[in-house]
Chain A
């Protein structure tokens, strides 16, 4: 069923208050040679504690939408709010895990995790270190807390970045393809970790991925976008019990349906 442009809540979000609300947001980028409409009249509602996955082909505006939610980019028109307050800039309660590695090469692993904690009021240095070490342990890297960033593998870097965004205990996590550079084994481990952490810590998560199975495994909802201009096409609730196994048959059935829908939106673009 095609997306009709109204704000829908999905199955599980019906009882939850809106944590993030995007209403009729449009964004066009102007470059010297052309202009690209990255988002066209996009509306999205994310409930408190909800896990929403954004899926869509490259260039459909997923990162742009995440930037707008983070407050790093302002929309041309439309409204975005968190807890009913308009988003006008970045806030410590909405942390981003960027698509490219944004760890600071001049700090070691634990100092990277501690960086975000400096801005949390009421913590002394010893407490910050303790929290940072605990989060490195959470992602299984307690042995590497003194390692320089370039000494870590791609997967380990992503884990440190995950620890860094979790440590200040934000209410909202915005994750841009955090797992796409990892091997299948590590990824499956992280699916389990992320689900566990979200259940324990009750985060609201918006998660961008190209991998439909991954989206179905993690998301309470999978939201499908299409490019040129970037639009929300469909919104699939995933009412599967947790913890979910990426290899389960039920999950595969959802993934197949969504992949079919995705192909429907991509093909005409390619033929153009």
Chain B
């Protein structure tokens, strides 16, 4: 409760500073709209349905792309941690591709898939899977060997070993890898939506793009706020409960012990 209060006070203070800057008239209203203008845009975009629709389109792409990225990245990470041949081949490739900014995939995606939904998904998957794969492989390699040894003496082998020992033991890394993957997916999708103008659906990135074309700063800032809010909410809803459950179990991340 106290922490929610701290966060609330902090964000209200930012809003007040913003309003103060506008009132002081340092910048023209075209460059820095007032908080109230941004709010008005949000309300009207909500009312005419464009905001809800764009958010829906964006989230659908994000969840599908992220899902595919996880489904490919996690098993590849496990494979690369246990088979040297995969580590030396795909693992090295992943390391290189992970450093490639996801915007760089867009020209290739456009040539391969054209102005389609497929191009969009491709960029998100490429932005997600390599970092998830690397985080998973690192996680498995960091497991204290004594866990695997204990499991072996108790007769745990094969699938049982992977699902009951290696997967849970690498959970802390897996979770932070999934979180990082989520951030990368979000970034790649926004890049894709800004650059790929497609007819299959109008996402938040497109609203942002057209806000710039129309010189509508209130729209630009409003959409940026929506994107930030979605990122925060997703983190709180998707990752925090898991993280907290894990911290309670493992006894890690306790603030008092720091």
Residues of A within 8 A of B (CB): 70-72, 90-92, 94-96, 98, 100-102, 104-108, 115-116, 118-119, 148-151, 168
CA–CA, A115 and B150, complex, Å: 10
- Within 8 Å by CB of A115, from B164, B171, B250, B252, lies B164
| Shortest distance from the beta carbon of A180 to any chain B beta carbon, whole Å | 16
**A150 in contact with B251 given A102-B147, A116-B155 (CB within 8 Å):** yes
Interface check B236, CB cutoff 8 A: no
Cβ of B251 and Cβ of A116 under 8 Å apart? no
Residues of B within 8 A of A (CB): 146-147, 149-156, 160, 164-165, 168-169, 171, 246, 248-252
Cβ of A106 and Cβ of B155 under 8 Å apart? no
| Shortest distance from the beta carbon of B248 to any chain A beta carbon, whole Å | 7
CA–CA, A263 and B159, complex, Å: 49
CA–CA, A9 and B61, complex, Å: 72
CA–CA, A96 and B252, complex, Å: 27
Cβ of A105 and Cβ of B249 under 8 Å apart? yes
Cβ of B248 and Cβ of A104 under 8 Å apart? no
Top 8 nearest A-B pairs (CB, nearest first) are A150-B251, A119-B155, A102-B150, A116-B154, A106-B168, A92-B155, A90-B153, A102-B146
**A98 in contact with B150 given A105-B251, A106-B171 (CB within 8 Å):** yes
**A100 in contact with B154 given A106-B171, A106-B250, A148-B251 (CB within 8 Å):** no
CA–CA, A38 and B249, complex, Å: 38
| Shortest distance from the beta carbon of B201 to any chain A beta carbon, whole Å | 41
23 contacts between A and B (CB under 8 A): A71-B153, A72-B152, A94-B153, A96-B149, A96-B150, A96-B153, A98-B149, A98-B150, A102-B150, A104-B147, A104-B150, A104-B165, A105-B249, A105-B250, A106-B169, A106-B171, A106-B246, A106-B250, A115-B151, A116-B155, A118-B160, A119-B154, A148-B249
| Chain A residues with CB below 8 A from B251, complex form | 105, 148-151
| Chain B residues with CB below 8 A from A107, complex form | 168
Cβ of B152 and Cβ of A90 under 8 Å apart? yes
CA–CA, A70 and B149, complex, Å: 10
| Shortest distance from the beta carbon of B162 to any chain A beta carbon, whole Å | 14
CA–CA, A168 and B155, complex, Å: 11
Cβ of A168 and Cβ of B154 under 8 Å apart? yes
CA–CA, A92 and B155, complex, Å: 6
- Within 8 Å by CB of B168, from A71, A90, A104, A148, lies A104
**A150 in contact with B250 given A90-B153, A104-B168, A104-B169 (CB within 8 Å):** yes
CA–CA, A91 and B156, complex, Å: 10
| Shortest distance from the beta carbon of B33 to any chain A beta carbon, whole Å | 50
| Chain B residues with CB below 8 A from A115, complex form | 151, 154, 156, 164
Cβ of A90 and Cβ of B249 under 8 Å apart? no
CA–CA, A118 and B171, complex, Å: 22
| Chain A residues with CB below 8 A from B160, complex form | 118-119
| Shortest distance from the beta carbon of A161 to any chain B beta carbon, whole Å | 9
Interface centre among A108, A119, A151, A168 (most CB of B within 10 A): A119
| Chain B residues with CB below 8 A from A105, complex form | 249-251
